[in-house]
Amino acid sequence: MNRVNIYRAATTDQTSISNVFIDEYMADANDAQLKIYLFLIRMMNANLPTSVTDIADKFNYTEKDVLRSLTYWESRQLLALDYDAAHNLSGIRVLSLENYEAPKTAPRITPVLSFIRPASMQTGMTARAGMAPIAANRTAAPTGSQPADGTLDSSKLTRPDYSLDELKSFRNNEDIEQLLMVTEQYVARPLTRSDMEIILFMYDRLGFQTNLIDYLVQHCVERGKKDFRYMEKVALAWHEQGITSPNDAQNASRRHDKVVYTIMKSLGKNANPAPKELEYINKWTKEYGFLLDVIQEACDKTVMTTDNHRFAYADGILTKWYQAGVHHKADIPAADASYRRAAQDGDKPRKNNIVTRNKFNNFAQNSYDFDALEQNILSN
């Protein structure tokens, strides 16, 4: 039998898609993103022009839907978007996947707001009672709820019930719209109304810039926290610490990590803190406000006394110091002396409790009744 030649009947009617795209990118994209990317490949192969309006009309999308999909593919480094002097989209470059290398480890989330084009901020939001409108290029929190000293009253830092009109006006800000789109990528799901209200609260009430909100979302997601209520608590904590930029947040995180590491080492632990242990550390540093040297002093006393339940034991000591008004390491001897006197006064009514000094008990007594303290801790 003669050899058979195999050939295409019409090569110009075929559009080729990279296997890398199918293997590595397709599963993470939504319906609109897939349709728009495939359409761009089709137009590129045919060397035909198109526009955002044309794509929106073809698939019955809004132009904003198309732009969100384009910026998504740019963030995945499959497209490069060009803008003219007026910041209008002027070109779309489809990037090659020939040099793609599969990551050997899970990639770290990195900021992607760099591709957001500059745009004047819109101020169309009508202010609610007690809520300042969103303004352009803000560097501080709104002043509508500020006291005379210029700082926000923490008692008023509660998230209001934003109306649908306010959320719509909030989204009309192009930078905010890009932030919401990027946030959806981080949490891998569409944002709910409650999610957007929390982001609006960070921006409008706490005065966070978009780059700080972006960093905060990354910070939480990298730690496995995709709950926006958790993010809201982090935002409030950052506001209390005066954090106004990603650099401030990074520095604060490094300081906190150093404190945690030092305390763990002081208690003879080399592993990362468990959630309960981290609760103790936050209690000592934030609720009690102790400096690191005071905490280390309590840790030293704990290590010299017990091998078990060290965090609870140290917490017992630090709680007594907190109740005694200790603020600095120099305050500890006075607190110890007061504790010792109280313990001695408690023993005086016991007439039969007479101790004869001899070579077995003629030594300085401990400042704390550690046995009683440990029993108290273990019973709680």
Is residue 285 domain-resident? Answer: yes
Report the C-alpha gap between 360 and 362 in whole angstroms.
6
In whole angstroms, give the CA distance from residue 62 to residue 40. 17
Chain-centre distance for alpha carbon 146: 25
- 219 and 286 co-located in one domain: no
* E strand or H helix that includes residue 105: none
- pLDDT tens digits along 181-218: 889 988 888 888 889 899 989 998 888 999 999 999 98
Q: Is residue 167 part of a domain?
A: yes
Residue 370 lies in a domain: yes
Question: For residue 117, is it within any domain?
Answer: no
Which of 98, 133, 152 is at the close of a domain?
A: 98
pLDDT of residue 295: 93
171: left (phi over 0), alpha (psi -120 to 50) or beta: alpha
Query: What pLDDT is recorded for position 378?
Result: 52
- pLDDT reported for residue 107: 39
Asked whether residue 201 falls in the same domain as residue 292, the answer is: no
Cut 0.95: pTM above it: no
Specify whether 230 is located in the same domain as 168: yes
Residues 232 and 282 in one domain: no
CATH of the domain at 166: 1.10.10
> Are 289 and 209 part of one and the same domain?
no
Instruction: Give every residue of the chain whose pLDDT is below 50, as ranges.
Output: 1, 4, 6-8, 10-11, 103-155, 350-355, 359-366
Indicate the number of domains in the chain.
3
Q: Are residues 294 and 349 in the same domain?
A: yes
Using the 3D structure, point to which of 49, 66, 98 is the last residue of a domain: 98
Q: In this structure, which amino acid lies at residue 112? A: V
- Could you say which of 83, 98, 113 is where a domain stops? 98
- Crossing angle of helices 174-187 and 210-222, rounded to 10°: 0
Helix (H) or strand (E) holding 92: strand 89-94
In a domain, 135, yes or no: no
Q: What is the pLDDT of residue 271?
A: 78
Closest CA to 160 of 126, 201, 192, 132: 201
pLDDT reported for residue 49: 82
What whole-number distance in Å separates Cα of residue 253 and Cα of residue 366? 38
Q: Are residues 356 and 280 in the same domain?
A: yes
Write down the pLDDT at residue 224: 83
What CATH number corresponds to the domain at position 60? 1.10.10.10
229: in domain:
yes
One domain for residues 276 and 368: yes
Instruction: Report the pLDDT value the prediction gives residue 7, as an integer from 0 to 100.
Output: 47
Structural domain containing residue 51: 17-98
Q: 214 and 272 in one domain?
A: no
According to the model, what pLDDT value does residue 131 have? 34
DSSP H or E stretch at residue 132: none
Same domain for 48 and 92: yes
**258 within a domain of the structure (yes/no):** no
Task: Tell me whether residue 10 is in a domain.
Answer: no
Please check whether residues 296 and 341 belong to one and the same domain: yes
Residue 38: its pLDDT value, please? Answer: 92
In angstroms, how far apart are the furthest CA atoms of the chain?
121
How confident is the model at residue 44, as a pLDDT?
82
